[in-house]
Amino acid sequence: MTYRFVVNGDPVEVDVPGMRRLLDVLREDLALTGTKEGCGEGECGACSVLLDGALVDACLVPICQVDGTIVRTVEGLGGERALNDLQAAFLETGGAQCGICTPGMLMAGEALLATGAATNDATIREAIAGNLCRCTGYTKIVEAIALAAGRRRASAGDEPPA
Amino acid sequence: MPVEPPVVSPRTLVEAYSLLAADDYRPVAGGTDLLVEITGELGEPPERVLDIWHLDELRGIRMESNALVLGALTTYAEMRRSPLVAEFLPAFAEAAATIGAAQIQNRATIGGNAIHASPAGDMLPLLLACDAQLVVGGAQGERWVAARDFWPAYRRTALAPTELLLRICIPLATGRHVRYRKVGGRRAQAISKVVMALAWQADDAVDAPWRDVHLALGSVAATPIRAPRTEAVLEGSAPDEPTADRAASTLASEINPIDDVRSSADYRRAVAARVLHRLIREQGGW
């Protein structure tokens, strides 16, 4: 079957079995290896991506349900040569250690920031509750998301009221 | 790579029924259970899959003649966001927030939870405690199955292989109170050790006697269960300390949980009694 959807702003078309996992389509068919496979059963969040804006584990989504949707992966946050503000905050605070959880943590953080809701320690921790860091470096990750959230609020505040 | 069984994605319920009548299919909705099974690590993966994600007839949360109706494809995230759920059945939103984390809540559905029929299914005690009706359909038409008849045995449902679960109707009773507690290894991503739902009718006064008490539990038997002996202790009593003591000790002797990888029978019995005791104490305000 042919499935068409948008990944990081680019329309793509894949001809694959409908039960192939979104994770495998991203990594094997589209060579977007930024999304990692950790547990393969929805426990660790390493493969988190945004599907029509909602945070999902790409290991639990069959490609037949991705047809016609908009997918965003870690490659779509900044770009090949640039980091977005959240990625930069992870570097600044030391939020990235071994790296396997980082793409998923970034997408979980991005999903939270995209809501525009006020963040605090509890909301950030709830937002990344489905993501495991095997280095147990949660404190720095929470700090990174808080830092990026604060900067986004500050820059939104700079804009003239609508 | 996991196996990739053939899948059909019908766009209408009629089309889905005719596929089910012709062949054996495993339905997939949010995929949070089935996509783990296609790895083959939990036994034989399904031979053929029916993707019901696009069946809009199975979506939506609405009021219908004094019942809240949850489409089978209602996700936990939708339940948490729904103003209707917040107003009429806040315990359901509270329960939805305890399930998995954002990734699971965005995909997992209440219908999938009911059909998967795990004794640890987080929503199932709530459906039992609130006298939910599960509406199933097939080429022959629709039929209603009471929650108390829906899980007849370990990991079995009342559904025929040619039927789909369409929606779940939860009758709304004035003056009914509903409480929910889940005990797991951690707050997120945990499969429950004990899950409890308690519903009763009472006037607003803290010493008002409870009527129509429904106590349901998960993870303490082969199926989600009611605890009728404990309900009888609570029926007609006010939520005072002697009642809480009697109810808790009755519950500890009424349930017969097992030891498994997640918990022990002793712990489950003790914690179920403790959780019930605390729920009653909170209501009694002592």
Contact A62 B5 (CB under 8 A): no
Looking at the fold, whether A89 and A150 belong to one and the same domain comes out as: yes
Please report which confidence band the pLDDT of residue A155 belongs to, taking 50, 70 and 90 as the band edges.
confident
Contact A55 B51 (CB under 8 A): no
Whether B152 is covered by a domain: the verdict is: yes
Q: Among residues of chain A, what percentage have pLDDT more than 70?
A: 97
Contact A56 B103 (CB under 8 A): yes
A159 vs A155: CA distance, rounded Å:
7
CB of B28 less than 8 A from some CB of A: yes
For residue A123, what are the domain limits? 85-157
- State mean pLDDT over B30-54: 91
A64: nearest CA partner in chain B: B9
The pTM (predicted TM-score) of the whole model is: 0.96
Contact A126 B188 (CB under 8 A): yes
CATH number at residue A55: 3.10.20.30
- pLDDT for position B186: 87
Whether A132 is covered by a domain: the verdict is: yes
Looking at the fold, whether A98 and A38 belong to one and the same domain comes out as: no
Contacts 24+ apart (CB under 8 A), B199-205: B199/B129, B199/B130, B200/B176, B200/B234, B201/B173, B201/B175, B201/B176, B201/B177, B202/B175, B202/B177, B203/B175
A73 vs A50: CA distance, rounded Å:
7
Contact B103 A127 (CB under 8 A): no
Looking at the fold, whether B182 and B139 belong to one and the same domain comes out as: no
Looking at the fold, whether B14 and B36 belong to one and the same domain comes out as: yes
Q: Among residues of chain A, what percentage have pLDDT more than 90?
A: 90
Q: How many domains does chain B have?
A: 3
Whether B127 is covered by a domain: the verdict is: yes
**In the listed set B171, B197, B221, which residue is the last one of a domain according to the structure?**
B171
Contact B104 A18 (CB under 8 A): no
Contact A129 B4 (CB under 8 A): no
Looking at the fold, whether B119 and B214 belong to one and the same domain comes out as: no
CATH number at residue B224: 3.30.390.50
Whether B223 is covered by a domain: the verdict is: yes
CATH number at residue B155: 3.30.465.10
Whether B2 is covered by a domain: the verdict is: no
HSE-CB of A91 using CA atoms within 13 angstroms: 7
- At B143-200, the pLDDT tens digits run 999 999 999 999 999 999 999 999 999 999 989 999 999 999 888 889 999 999 999 9
Whether B92 is covered by a domain: the verdict is: yes
Q: How many domains does chain A have?
A: 2
User: A106 and A88 in contact (C-beta within 8 Å)?
Assistant: no
**In the listed set A22, A48, A76, which residue is the last one of a domain according to the structure?**
A76
pLDDT at A105 exceeding the cut of 80 = yes
CB of A41 less than 8 A from some CB of B: yes
For residue B127, what are the domain limits? 58-171
Best of A20, A65, A66 to disrupt the B interface by mutation (most B CBs within 10 Å)? A65
Please report which confidence band the pLDDT of residue A159 belongs to, taking 50, 70 and 90 as the band edges.
low
- Facing A42 at nearest CB: one of B4, B6, B104: B104
CB of A52 less than 8 A from some CB of B: no
DSSP A98-156: SSSSHHHHHHHHHHHHHTT----HHHHHHHTTT---TT--HHHHHHHHHHHHHHHHHHH
A158 vs A155: CA distance, rounded Å:
5
Best of A60, A110, A131, A132 to disrupt the B interface by mutation (most B CBs within 10 Å)? A60
**In the listed set A44, A76, A108, which residue is the last one of a domain according to the structure?**
A76
- pLDDT for position A161: 46
B31: distance to nearest CA of chain A, Å? 6
- At B118-134, the pLDDT tens digits run 999 999 999 999 999 99
CB of A37 less than 8 A from some CB of B: no
- pLDDT for position B206: 85
Identify all chain B residues contacting A65, using CB atoms and an 8 Å cutoff: 9, 31, 51, 53-54
A47: nearest CA partner in chain B: B103
CB atoms within 10 A of CB A136: 8
CATH number at residue A92: 1.10.150.120
pLDDT at B2 exceeding the cut of 90 = no
Average the pLDDT over each of A1-10, B55-64, B149-158, B184-193 and give the range with the smallest value.
B184-193
pLDDT at A160 exceeding the cut of 70 = no
- At A19-75, the pLDDT tens digits run 999 999 999 999 999 999 999 999 999 999 999 999 999 999 999 999 999 999 999
Whether A104 is covered by a domain: the verdict is: yes
Whether A162 is covered by a domain: the verdict is: no
